[in-house]
Amino acid sequence: MFQQQVYIINTILMILDALCIIAAGYGAFYVKYFRSDGSWMIGDNVFTASVLLIMFLNNYVMGNFQLYSDMRPPSLSFLLWSVFKAIVVDFLVLSTGIFLYKQVTYSREFLFLFAVLSFAFIATLRMMERWHVNHIFRKGFNVRKILVVGNSERGKIVTELLEQQLSWGHEIVGRVATETGDRPSDNRLGELPQMLREQAIDEVVFALSGDRSVNLSAYFDLCKKMGITVKILPSLWKPDDQTLSVDIYQKVPFLSIKTDNFNATGLLYKRILDLTGGVVGTILFFIVFPFVGAAIKLDTKGPVLFKQKRMGQNGRVFNLHKFRTMYPDAEQRKQALLEKNEMQGAIFKLKDDPRITRVGKWLRRTSLDEFPQFLNVLRGEMSLVGTRPPTPDEVEKYEPQHLRRISAKPGITGLWQISGRNTITEFDEIVKLDCKYLDNWRFFDDIVILAKTIVIVFQRRGAV
């Protein structure tokens, strides 16, 4: 119910904000026109482009400043300050566009009036909306009456949440305690049937605490029989936990506990980026292959390409391909070098690794050894950006919390690679970076990491 109301309210606000911008644009035009006694004019295309840019940009910027969220602004000062910041950003962008397109005849007075009127109109609109919600919606006949059932801790959380919730009218009429240790003034669970009969209640929110001694199913059934909507805050939810969500499959609800920030749309965009980058990278791989292959063959005996078993997403094993940078017997010699490992934890790394060939050092410095991995990307075994793919013997040493780093596709590059990989010596720090990537992932982050990786490669700061 609230989600639908939030959608409707914010849609209306976005339309009204856009109309405010249009009104501000025309208002600024006429004020400037009459102030100049009709001698000032602005091109129709320039005026229309300015108003449309601010109109669409403003909706986006105000959304980023939480002005289209499901929470009511906590105070009037917060509301006005957020609108002011959004308008400043809007007109900084417009000013930049005017400068870049060399609109030397663009009136600064018109630009200033446009900004001032935009803020004045939108601020007035939002203050009227705030007053209407606080004084009309909350006192109307159709205000939704809500009763909260839960212990003192979780009941308080739900009560505070509902007090901040955006809607077109709801009121918390009371709280029913589910535990004997709650405040004496609270109503008891046994009194709920009588309260539902005697009071006007539209909805009951059960904030479950996990106390199995409290049987709530009978109260659920009672509310259902009486036609009163029931909402349930599951006991699995914790105040500091943002991983719990609800998915509906064929009208059947499932509680989901997410371990990363990926979603279907984001994964689609990520895969499109992988396919695009994979095709470009594979073409470059075939171009450099004859030259790199010849250099490897002239330097040492052995194959041009190196193939190794690696762990992919959630334990999927695949063959990772690289240009060979080590002597053919590198794996056999690794055991003798384990005591010299410079990393702490389930990962092996040696700065001056004697197994690396002369050509191999150059390939690693330029990151050319990574180019065959674009084939892994095209096959869907890897992504352009992700976590470093470990070997099976490294994963055997992992503790349970370490396995989370392979819960997503491994990448050619990642947050560790651009965060000073040569200076990080503790495996737990690498895991923290990997988990940070998974927890806060956005599609734009992949673009940033790829751009930084390219800069690092051209600066010759590849792996050594």
Which of the four pLDDT bands, split at 50, 70 and 90, describes residue 139? low
Q: Please give the CATH topology (third level) of the domain spanning 142-257.
A: Rossmann fold (3.40.50)
Residue 359 has pLDDT above 70, yes or no: yes
CB neighbours of residue 260 within 10 Å? 16
Residue 183 has pLDDT above 70, yes or no: no
Q: For residue 210, what are the contacts with CB-CB under 8 A and spacing of at least 6?
A: 235
Residue 101 has pLDDT above 50, yes or no: yes
Long-range contacts of the stretch 211-214 (C-beta < 8 A, 24+): 211/151, 211/178, 211/179, 214/178, 214/179, 214/189
- Residue 188 — φ and ψ, nearest 5°? -100, 155
Where along the chain do the CATH 3.40.50.720 domains lie? 142-257
Q: Is this structure's pTM higher than 0.85?
A: no
Residue 25 has pLDDT above 90, yes or no: yes
Q: Over range 81-101, report the average pLDDT.
A: 93
Residue 323 has pLDDT above 90, yes or no: yes
Residues 368 and 359: beta-carbon distance below 8 Å: no
Which of the four pLDDT bands, split at 50, 70 and 90, describes residue 179? low
- Rg of the chain, C-alpha, whole Å: 31
Residue type, 411: G
Q: Over range 359-365, report the average pLDDT.
A: 88
Report the C-alpha gap between 2 and 89 in whole angstroms. Answer: 30
